[in-house]
Structure 1
Amino acid sequence: MTSITRNLPPFVKDLGVSIVGKKCYISLVENLNVGDIDCVKYAISKGLGIGIVVGGSVMKVPQMLLILNAGSAEGLSLPAYILETLSYAITLAYSVKNQFPFSTYGENLFLTIQDILITLLIIAFAPSKKPASSNKPRDLTVALLSMAGIAYTLNSLPISTLALAQIATLPLSLFSKVPQIAQNAKAKSTGQLSAVAVLAQILGCVARLFTTATEVKDPVVFTAFALALVLNSVLGVQMWMYWDAKPAAPVAAKHKKDEDEGEEIVSPQLREEAKASAYAYEGLGYGVPSSQQRFGTPPRSFSPVAGSPVAGQRRWARKTVD
């Protein structure tokens, strides 16, 4: 068997050496020495790292699709995603400055980009209380300019300052999950939160703990991933607890439904006036009008007599609700 593994095509050998290094490639591939524990752990770590990077490139795609398909970001916490995006961006800048292997942090690049897109989607699909004077274009512009400014600042900071910022990702990781956890607990629902994305984050944190301990051995980074694992696990438990709960209908959709059904909330005063109008019909010999007559425009032949309780103060409604 070793005669085959020692004569693999050059492109296979070059790829293997680039992943696990020449020493471990010779030990594990060419000599088939599976007893080399250090190289086995290193190879597993590299494999997990590559898998995490590939998975991270699409991890948040299900979340984006959920928002787009539903036309709503109901249940998603904007502060949570802002803080999470900042945390990913700091870790990315810190790892690049320290020239860590790309397999140990590569997913942060893709997760940062995806979190930026989700943040913009949350702003774009946020319920607007005043549609006529919506400030969404302004909010999106401010968000984009802020993100560009943060990216430029992180790229300009020296390593010593980025090290302090990396320590700050510990509380950032905490506070980025707490708003979402609190919102889920309050609503008793996870809204449009993606179960696939949450599960992928849990598995990613577990794998990252192994790769960090094996390759980087940075206690700050390790602690950050450990804390992220705990908080993502809490979100996972909430997904299980509130699995059957349905998110509340978006405010804009509710308003549209009311308009389609022709419903109109009428004040008690108008309701009483409508009743008085019905009594006026009956008193003048017209009989009790139908529902269409009662709440529509009165017939032309009808003219309230002077002194009538409704003379000079006709107010009509399409429908009354109790």
Structure 2
Amino acid sequence: MTAITQNFPWFIREPAVAIVGEKCYHSLVEELNVGDVECLKYALSKGLGVGIVIGGSIMKVPQVLIILRARSARGLSFTAYVLETLSYAITLVYSFRNDFPFSTYGENFFLTLQNAIITVLIAYFPSPSLRRAKTNSVAAFSTFLATLAGAFTLYYLPSTSLALLQLATTPLSVLSKFPQIMTNHRARSTGQLSAFAVISQVAGCLARLFTTVTETGDPLLFLAFATALALNCVLGAQMWMYWGQDADTKGIDIGKIPPSEKDKSWARPAQVDITVQPASPVAPGPRYGSPTPSGRRWARKVD
């Protein structure tokens, strides 16, 4: 068997060496040493890292498509996405500046881009999170410019300031998820929130905890991913609780459904049919208004 593994073609060998390194490739592939625990953990971490980066490149694409198809960002919190994008960008720049392997943070590059697009879409399309006005294009363009300015600012920050910001990503994770969690709770619905994105984030955070411990050992990154995992689990629980309660998908606020056009009896006064029984015939007297034999005068009121 080793005669085969030691003679793999270059297009298999070189990518594998680039991922796990020459030492672990020789041990695990060429020598088939499955007892090398250290290399097994490293190879698993690298494999997870590459998978997360690939998954991160499409994680938020379903969310973008949902917004574009519905032409609405109903149920999505603008504040939540701004803070989440900032958190992703800080981790991306911090990891890049510290020369961490791309497999340990690469998905943050794609998630930052996708989140920035979603944030601009929330600003452009009608959303309960924003004031409805004829300034959607202006709001979207302003959001885009603010995103670019934030990216340049983070890139040129001193290392000490960047480390402090990385520490701040933990409370940022809480603040970024909390508005979305509260929006879902108030509406008893997750609106246009993508289930695929939420489930992928839970799986990604779990894998990132393992890769962070194995490859970087950075406690700041570990704390940030652990906090994000807990909050994404809350969003996942809300998706399960409120599943199927999104019957109203046309932008009408939940809980304020107008009455049907067919039933507007609430707007009209009640009508009551009154039946008047005909009066009993009375024998006429000698002439109109003359006394009857009983001595009474009978009069008839004409309506």
Using the size of structure 1 for normalisation, the TM-score is 0.76
Give the corresponding residue for 1:79.
Answer: 79
Identity of aligned residues (%): 57
What is the alpha-carbon distance in structure 1 between the residues aligned to residue 66 and residue 201 of structure 2?
17
Give the corresponding residue for 1:139.
Answer: 139
CA offsets 1:119-148 (integer angstroms, 9 cap, x no match): 1111111249997x5111221121111111
Give the corresponding residue for 2:15.
Answer: 15
Change (3 A) 1:182 1:202: same
Alignment of 1:161-310 (within 5 A): 161-246=161-246, 248-251=248-251
Give the corresponding residue for 2:70.
Answer: 70
What is the alpha-carbon distance in structure 2 between the residues aligned to residue 73 and residue 251 of structure 1?
9
Change (3 A) 1:83 1:96: same
What is the alpha-carbon distance in structure 1 between the residues aligned to residue 204 and residue 134 of structure 2?
38
Alignment of 1:80-99 (within 5 A): 80-99=80-99
Residue 10 (structure 1) shift = 2.5
What is the alpha-carbon distance in structure 2 between the residues aligned to residue 238 and residue 228 of structure 1?
15
Q: In 2, are the aligned partners of 1:127 and 1:250 still within 8 Å (CA)? A: no
Q: Which stretches in structure 2 are left out of the alignment for 5+ residues?
A: 270-303
Which structure shows the bigger proportion of residues in helix conformation?
1
What is the alpha-carbon distance in structure 2 between the residues aligned to residue 130 and residue 143 of structure 1?
15
Residue 47 (structure 1) shift = 0.4
Change (3 A) 1:205 1:251: closer
CA offsets 1:268-322 (integer angstroms, 9 cap, x no match): 9xx99xxxxxxxxxxxxxxxxxxxxxxxxxxxxxxxxxxxxxxxxxxxxxxxxxx
What is the alpha-carbon distance in structure 2 between the residues aligned to residue 6 and residue 127 of structure 1?
59
Give the corresponding residue for 1:27.
Answer: 27
Give the corresponding residue for 1:299.
Answer: none
Residue 27 (structure 1) shift = 0.5
What is the alpha-carbon distance in structure 2 between the residues aligned to residue 9 and residue 118 of structure 1?
43
What is the aligned length? 264
Residue 251 (structure 1) shift = 4.8
What is the alpha-carbon distance in structure 2 between the residues aligned to residue 136 and residue 20 of structure 1?
48
Residue 158 (structure 1) shift = 2.1
What is the alpha-carbon distance in structure 2 between the residues aligned to residue 127 and residue 22 of structure 1?
52
Residue 154 (structure 1) shift = 0.7
Residue 11 (structure 1) shift = 3.0
Give the corresponding residue for 1:115.
Answer: 115
Q: In 1, are the aligned partners of 2:121 and 2:140 still within 8 Å (CA)? A: no
CA offsets 1:241-282 (integer angstroms, 9 cap, x no match): 00021164545899xxx9xx8xx9xxx9xx99xxxxxxxxxx
Give the corresponding residue for 1:295.
Answer: none
Q: CA RMSD in A?
A: 2.6
CA offsets 1:186-237 (integer angstroms, 9 cap, x no match): 1111111111110000000000000001001001100110010000000000
Change (3 A) 1:26 1:130: closer
CA offsets 1:42-76 (integer angstroms, 9 cap, x no match): 00000000000000000001111111111211111
Which one has a bigger Cα radius of gyration? 2
Give the corresponding residue for 1:304.
Answer: none
Letter of the structure 1 residue corresponding to residue 190 of structure 2: T
Give the corresponding residue for 1:276.
Answer: none
Letter of the structure 2 residue corresponding to residue 121 of structure 1: L
